[in-house]
Homo-oligomer: A and B are copies of this chain.
Amino acid sequence: MTPPRVSSAEGGLIALQSLETRGGVKKAAIGVDIGGTSVKLGLVNPRGQVALRDSFLTGHTPGRAGLLNLLVSHIRRFGKEAARSGFKVLGVGIGAPGPIDVRKGLVHFFPNIPGWRNTPLKKILQSRTHLPVWVDNDAGVMALAEYFFGAGRGSRNVIALTLGTGIGGGLVIDGKLFSGPAFSAAEVGHIIINEKGRLCACGNRGCVEAYVGGRSFIREVKARLKKGAKSVLSSWLRTRNTALTPLLVAQAARRGDPFSKKIWRETGEHLGTALAGLCNVLNPEKIILGGGMAGNGRLIFGPVIATIRKKAFPIAARSVKVVPAKLGVDAGLVGAAALVFSNKGTREAR
């Protein structure tokens, strides 16, 4: 079920709907999606519906203390607003970028937000909001959202990938978000598919991200055009005032440009190769693809699915469905709230 989409006015609280009542009390969790640009908050019910929402710019007040203060004041305001509307707030779930000690709720660092090295975010927020707090990686939280409320419903073993500049990944194994003992699992982008292949941003050669990540994709298109490959893209780039993006290459492919069709097919095949290996190891029921690179429909899903069918073992290939993500921009905050529900046992693994 896709939750209702509402454009949130900065700083404004929007009551969307009254939530269902469970056991006489309307239960909800506060989901927080910390991103490099903005922080989104939502009051989310156990069905994944967003009742209140808010957001602010991550850099609105500089420094860690400033961001922490904004987080605390917004969470408090949500708490009051929720109580006034008759909700019981079970806790706060936070999805954040970068490596996180999930057990301690400790942020090792934020890749694009300075000043957060070794921050005990869970502890700080619990003591200042008097609510239980859970923190997890943003890619994991997105996977949890899709598992509970989106494309992963009804499956207990799910791999969810966000295909953007890089590849973010989350694993649900036997109904639980799997972070690994050192909380560094699910880095699906760094499965190596060619030992002597393209250089990856991580320093290795041949990681699947070096083929499927948006940045690598564009670098490859540019390199091939420069080498003289024929494509409608060349004339588009000369005559239109436009940047070379995966979307532009997708438009060219849809218009029948053989060069663009080929590079999308190859990209899907590279991703399919990594996923075929992963199907042989984890035998997932669903692979969910979201993010910008996955937004191009059959161009990417077609070759991904064909390659899995071809390269994974028949039992594993037959038992997996490759589907697009459903929750879009809300996945972060809905998944963050799902951290609360899954830890509180309000929504059991099905």
Stretch at the interface among A42-50, A84-92, A178-186, A251-259: A178-186
Q: Are B192 and A311 in contact (CB under 8 A)?
A: yes
How far does the Cβ of A167 sit from chain B's closest Cβ, in whole Å? 11
Q: Are B316 and A182 in contact (CB under 8 A)?
A: yes
Q: Are A187 and B319 in contact (CB under 8 A)?
A: no
How far does the Cβ of A190 sit from chain B's closest Cβ, in whole Å? 4
Chain A 192-203 interface 0/1 with B at a Cβ cutoff of 8 Å (1 = within): 111110000010
Identical chains in the assembly: 2
Which residues of A, 291-332, contact B by the 8 Å Cβ criterion? 310-313, 315-316, 318-319
Least CB separation from A316: chain B residue: B184
Once bound together, how far apart are the Cα atoms of A186 and B282, in whole Å?
A: 6
For A186, list chain B residues within 8 Å (CB).
Answer: 281
Once bound together, how far apart are the Cα atoms of A183 and B284, in whole Å?
A: 10
With contacts A173-B173, A313-B202 taken as known, whether A277 is within 8 angstroms of B191 at the C-beta atoms is yes
Once bound together, how far apart are the Cα atoms of A211 and B9, in whole Å?
A: 57
Least CB separation from A283: chain B residue: B180
Once bound together, how far apart are the Cα atoms of A273 and B204, in whole Å?
A: 10
With contacts A99-B315, A283-B184, A315-B182 taken as known, whether A276 is within 8 angstroms of B192 at the C-beta atoms is yes
- Does chain B have a CB within 8 A of A263? no
For A182, list chain B residues within 8 Å (CB).
Answer: 283, 315-316, 318-319
With contacts A283-B185, A316-B182 taken as known, whether A273 is within 8 angstroms of B173 at the C-beta atoms is no
How far does the Cβ of A177 sit from chain B's closest Cβ, in whole Å? 11
How far does the Cβ of A122 sit from chain B's closest Cβ, in whole Å? 19
Once bound together, how far apart are the Cα atoms of A281 and B207, in whole Å?
A: 12
Least CB separation from A277: chain B residue: B191
Chain A 77-118 interface 0/1 with B at a Cβ cutoff of 8 Å (1 = within): 000000000000000000000010000000000000000000
- Does chain B have a CB within 8 A of A156? yes
Least CB separation from A269: chain B residue: B195
Instruction: Tell me the A residues contacting B by CB distance below 8 Å.
Output: 99, 155-157, 169, 171, 173-174, 176, 178-188, 190-196, 202, 204, 269-270, 273-274, 276-278, 280-285, 310-313, 315-316, 318-319
Q: 5 closest pairs, A vs B, by CB? A: A180-B283, A182-B319, A191-B277, A187-B280, A185-B283
- Given A173-B173, A181-B284, A185-B316, 19 other A-B residues pairs in contact with their CB atoms under 8 A: A155-B181, A157-B181, A174-B178, A180-B283, A182-B315, A182-B316, A182-B318, A183-B315, A184-B319, A187-B281, A187-B313, A191-B278, A192-B311, A194-B196, A195-B270, A195-B273, A202-B313, A204-B276, A204-B311
